[in-house]
Amino acid sequence: MATEHSRTAARLMVSPAVILLFLWMIVPLGMTIYFSFLRYNLLNPGMETFAGFDNYYYFLTNAAFWDALINTVTLVVGVLVITVFGGIALALLLDQPFWGQGIVRVLVIAPFFVMPTVSALVWKNMFMNPVNGVFAHIAKSLGLQPFDFLSQAPLASIILIVAWSWLPFATLILLTALQSLDREQQEAAEMDGASVLARFWYLTVPHLTRSITVVVLIQTIFLLSVFAEILVTTNGGPGTASTNIPYLVYAQSLLNFDVGGGSAGGIVAVILANIVAFFLMRMIGKNLDA
């Protein structure tokens, strides 16, 4: 089908996007790599000296790095688990006929529109605050001691906040997928006496696999760089309990103003992201073409 002519045309059409993205990737990346080999503190300008691999050494041997790595993984996995399972459950529920479907769908989709800084501020102050938050008021009215979410379970609280923002996204994709499910097949299976569970397992789940992979892919891209929610709620603490890699890089480059160290951290983060991307793409690539 594709002629030589249309191939050339196609190349021309793709190239602006490719060139722009390539520049967008390579220019800051190149500068970051360059900075990462310098001893460069923003507050001591003109004092830059070549540092070799010192910045990398300090970044990787920093105890906070390993905590941050584990926290990043926990955060991504935690939110994925909640949104995928919650999303499936919610999609199954919303797929049933009930009164007021339109309105409920509007309610469920709403968190997706809220900017991360706002949702973090709202959760932190109006809900999780141990003195004035809604949860504290509820605990007190039940005669319980209010739970101090952001100090006692900082990472779990952030996972909750982020999952709240992403649950609508997962639900909507999965719901759309469910709606395209073959009803006749379902009914036939029901006639044959397949249990609800069996029908779910053998018909619904395989049908949802593609959507689930898409949810996982898109969300992972965004979840790897969760930042605003942490900055607003816990500042990565207490200790390093809720510091993830982006936050650690932020702390290095913009709290310490250590551009060299921050750049080294940035490069490490890029490498890690690419490792994740590699596996993710292989997994998705397989699934998407199936």
Partner 1 sequence: MTTTIRALLGATALLTLMGAANAETTITVATVNNGDMIRMQGLMDDFYAKNPDIKVEWVTLEENVLRQKVTTDIATKGGQFDVLTIGTYEVPIWGKAGWLVSLNDLPADYDAADLLPAIAGGLTVDGNLYASPFYGESSMVMYRKDLMEAAGLTMPDAPTWADIKTAAAAMTDKSKEQYGICLRGKAGWGENMAFLTAMSNSFGAKWFDENWNPQFDQKPWKDTLDFYLDLMNNYGPPGASNNGFNENLALFQQGHCGMWIDATVAASFVTGKDSTVADKVGFALAPDNGLGKRGNWLWAWSLAIPAGSQKVDAAKAFINWATNKDYAALVASKEGWANVPPGTRASLYANPEYAKVPFAKMTLDSINAADPTHPTVDPVPYTGVQFVAIPEFQGFATAVGQQFSAALAGSTSADDALAAAQELVKTEMTKAGYIK
Partner 2 sequence: MARKTTQTRKAVVTIAAWLIGIVIFFPILWTILMSFKSEGDAIKAPLAMLSSPWTLESYGEVQARSNYALHFWNSVVLSLGSTLLALLIAIPAAWAMAFVPGKRTKDLLMWMLSTKMMPAVGVLVPMYLMFRDLGLLDSRIGLVGVLTLINLPIVIWMLYTYFKEIPGEILEASRMDGASLRSEILYVLTPMAVPGIASTMLLNIILAWNEAFWTLQLTTSKAAPLTQFIASYSSPEGLFYAKLSAASTMAIAPILILGWFSQKQLVRGLTFGAVK
- Hey, which residues between 61 and 80 contact partner 1 (CB under 8 A)? 62-64
Q: What is the DSSP letter of 146?
A: P
Asked if residue 119 binds partner 2 (CB under 8 A), the reply is yes
Report the residue number, 74 or 235, with the smaller CB distance to partner 1: 235
Count of residues interacting with partner 1 (CB under 8 A): 35
259-289 helix and 205-223 helix, angle to the nearest 10 degrees: 170
- Contacted by 281, from partner 1, partner 2, none: CB < 5 to 8 Å by type: partner 2
| Site residues (CB under 8 A) for partner 1, limited to 201-220 | none
Q: Residues 163 to 202: which contact partner 1 by CB under 8 A?
A: none
The span from the CA of 134 to the CA of 136, in Å, is: 5
Report 137-156 residues binding partner 2 (CB under 8 A).
137-138, 140-141
H/E stretch holding 38 = strand 38-39
Binds partner 1 by CB under 8 A, chosen from 80, 223, 249, 251: 251
Name the DSSP class of 240. Answer: T
Distance CA 5, CA 197 (A): 54
Q: Which is nearer to partner 1, 208 or 245 (CB)?
A: 245
Q: Is 254 in the site for partner 1 (CB under 8 A)?
A: yes
Q: Looking at the DSSP assignment, which residues form a beta bridge with residue 49?
A: 39
Under the binding rule (CB under 8 A), the answer on residue 39 touching partner 2 is: no
Under the binding rule (CB under 8 A), the answer on residue 239 touching partner 1 is yes
Peptide bond into 130 cis (omega under 30): no
Task: State yes or no: residue 132 binds partner 1 (CB under 8 A).
Answer: yes
For the bound state, the minimum distance from the C-beta of residue 94 to partner 2, rounded and expressed in Å, comes to 6
Q: Which residues of 21-55 are buried (b: 16+ CB within 10 A; e: fewer)?
A: eeeeeeeeeeebeebbbbbbeeeeeeeeeebeebb
Amino acid at 239: G
263 binds partner 1 (CB under 8 A): no
Question: Does 142 engage in binding with partner 1 (CB under 8 A)?
Answer: no
Stretch of 62-70, 147-155, 190-198, 265-273 contacting partner 2, by CB under 8 A: 265-273
When asked if residue 117 is in the footprint of partner 1 (CB under 8 A), the reply is no
According to the binding rule CB under 8 A, does residue 227 interact with partner 2?
A: yes
Residue 50 pairs in a beta bridge with: 38
Report residue 77 as tokens.
């996995």
| 86 counts as binding partner 1 under rule CB under 8 A | no
Residue 38 engages partner 2 in binding (rule: CB under 8 A) = no
End-to-end CA distance of the chain: 22
Q: Which of 65, 123, 149, 166 binds partner 2 (CB under 8 A)?
A: 123
Q: Which residues contact 94 (CB under 8 A, 6 or more apart)?
A: 101, 104, 105, 108, 171, 175
Token duo for residue 161: 């906040």
Determine the Cα–Cα distance for residues 92 and 88; give it in Å rounded to an integer: 6
Q: Residues interacting with partner 1, by CB under 8 A?
A: 41-45, 54, 58, 62-64, 129-132, 145-146, 148, 150-152, 234-241, 251-252, 254-258
